[in-house]
Chain A
Amino acid sequence: MKKRLKIRPVRTGVQIFFFLLIALIAVGHSLEEAGITLPLIGGASLHAVCPFGGVVSLYQYIVSGTFVQKIHDSSFILMILVFLTAVLFGPVFCGWICPLGSFQEWIGRIGKKLFRKKYNHMIPGKIDSILRYLRYLVLIWVIIVTAASARLVFANYDPYYALFNFWTGEVAISGFIILGLVILLSLVVERPFCKYACPYGAVLGLSNFFRVFKIRRIPKTCISCSACDRACPMNIEVEKHTTVRNHQCIACYECTSEAACPISDTVILSAELPLRESAKTKTRTAKEPSHAN
């Protein structure tokens, strides 16, 4: 078996890099207001480097050609770039870059130590699957209140904003409360905010239905060990599908043969079913209906 470069350490490294980058930008913004400019980092605000700012500004931009307060061209550019990457590879932004997602994962490591196998499996399946759609309601609410008020109302409830601005005095008490809840929940559920409340995750999650490169499981070589299922932070049952099209996938690639799957070339990222597999599927579809997700 070929020696594989494990995804986990690389992903952690990337997550730490972006977490520190965003923390530096937040500090840089505070220093800029005090008249000190950090070299390379400058004084951009967190809003200016948040691609979701572009999403919530879209309505106003289309209607009046202006941005919502505190949103600038940079948010729009990031929004377009992140959309482009999501169309290609899925919500890699969520799985590898978003500092709030990383933060929840790191808290979750404590939860894993505390609750072991029970961790991330404590919410009953039925309730959990309903709650997973809550983030679309949050998304609709955010878009409506932002369009009506021309203000970033969500900043008052955004744990990401609270996390990187706690020292500024600009964070609403509601932001702190939600951040506290996210921290506590992260001890029992992996990425609770991503799963149940993140409006940007809701937007990017939709890319799982049409992304070019999808997570595919090759049944022919699969030994049904469920390693992929256990590795998935979003509780997606990879083993039950040949193609993952779940709206909750964050493209962390932890389920793939580069990480959890012990068999080479079995859980892969591909633009189409590999030749031998598609040939097999074709033969099968002639006889029986496909069971692809």
Chain B
Amino acid sequence: MRIKGIAAAGITILIILGGVFISQLTGTWITENARSPRLITVGEFAGMSDPADIRGSHTFAVIGESFSIEPEIIAAAFGLDVGARDPGELRPNEMELFFEGIDESRGEIGTDSIKWFIALYSDFPYIPEETTLLPSSAAEYLIAAGKIDQEVMDSLQPSLIETELLKADADTEADADTEADADTDAGIAAADTDVSSSSTDRTVKGNTIFADLYTWGLTEKEIGEVTGEAPGPRSAVVRDYYTNLGLEYGTVRVALQKLIDSK
């Protein structure tokens, strides 16, 4: 049986594009992670949305819906003046732009700051990245709303940064950048503790691999017991490995850190 080369190429393209079209129709063409944070299915927090699964691309509206918090409150807590823009349209991945002027050696306000804020708001255990900062206004909102107590507030101090109202209006992004620069300079001057001072060599971080855990004295069995899953290869990144297994990394991290600290 013969076929023309052009026909073969045509059929190939048809199979590929047609296949994509059919999978779009059947809803199996998924090109991104879920549009809202996934639900926790086991344990004390079962049924609750997972703050650790908040993505940079989720809108404040989606986050608000998942964690029962008004988008306006998130924006206000982060000191954002949304102007004409709908606060529900803001996304965590815009934070880095708004707070671009922060000295990188000190830390950053980004998607992880939103995760941390929401976790504190929801009384959910979450250990942020060691470079993550929170605007002071966010912590002030949390304590005023009774979401955290003075003890938690004190523990947050090293990671807080003073910010003034930032323009988060899309049309005034340039202004927002300039103001962020000025604001963060002031914030850095106001902060009297180095945020990175809390880290030690035996701290589970975003880039910790399983080999580090073994070096710090944990055994495969212990890791399996506290996480409920067998550990990954020695070179695998702990965070990625457990996130890919569908576990909430914040919880895993807390459990592993406890175990390391107890050694």
Contact = CB atoms under 8 A, between A and B. Distances in A.
Co-complex (A, B): yes
Interface of A: 5, 7, 10-11, 14, 32-33, 35, 42-45, 48-49, 60, 64, 66-69, 72-74, 77-78, 80-82, 84-85, 88-89, 92-93, 95-97, 147-151, 213, 251, 253, 256, 258-259, 268-272, 274
B40 interface: no
Given A35-B89, A44-B32, A89-B12, A274 B2 contact: yes
Interface of B: 1-6, 8-9, 11-13, 15-16, 19-20, 23, 28-33, 56-57, 89, 91, 93-94, 170, 232-233, 235-237, 240-241, 244-246
A113 B121 CA distance: 66
A79 to B, nearest CB: 11
Nearest to B97: A34
A5 B5 CA distance: 10
Nearest to A257: B5
Q: Pick the 4 closest A-B CB pairs, nearest first.
A: A253-B5, A44-B31, A48-B31, A73-B30
Contacts of B56: 33
Contacts of B15: 81, 84-85
A92 B244 contact: no
Contacts, number: 133
Contacts of A5: 6
B6 A45 contact: no
A149 B237 contact: yes
Nearest to B19: A81
B9 A258 contact: no
A10 B12 CA distance: 14
Nearest to A6: B6
Contacts of A74: 20, 23, 29-31
A72 B32 contact: yes
A80 B237 CA distance: 29
A88 B244 contact: no
Contacts of B1: 213, 270-272
Given A5-B6, A85-B15, A213-B1, 17 more contacts: A10-B6, A14-B9, A35-B94, A42-B31, A45-B32, A72-B31, A73-B30, A78-B19, A88-B12, A89-B12, A93-B16, A95-B9, A149-B236, A149-B240, A251-B8, A253-B8, A270-B2
Contact of B5 (A68, A150, A256, A272): A256
A228 to B, nearest CB: 12
Given A33-B93, A66-B244, A149-B237, A45 B12 contact: no
Residue among A10, A81, A148, A274 with max Cβ neighbours from chain B (10 Å): A81
B16 A97 contact: yes
B237 A77 contact: no
Nearest to B28: A73
Contact of B9 (A44, A92, A148): A92
B30 A72 contact: yes
A5 to B, nearest CB: 6
A37 to B, nearest CB: 11
Nearest to A11: B9
Given A45-B31, A77-B20, A272-B1, A150 B13 contact: no
Contacts of B240: 69, 149-151
Given A97-B16, A151-B240, A92 B31 contact: no
Residue among B6, B15, B19, B235 with max Cβ neighbours from chain A (10 Å): B6
B244 A67 contact: yes
Nearest to A145: B235
12 contacts: A5-B6, A35-B94, A43-B57, A77-B28, A88-B8, A89-B3, A89-B11, A89-B12, A96-B9, A253-B5, A256-B5, A272-B1
Contacts of B30: 72-74
B6 A7 contact: yes
A213 B241 CA distance: 42
Contacts of B6: 5, 7, 10, 253, 258
B16 A81 contact: yes
A93 B12 CA distance: 8
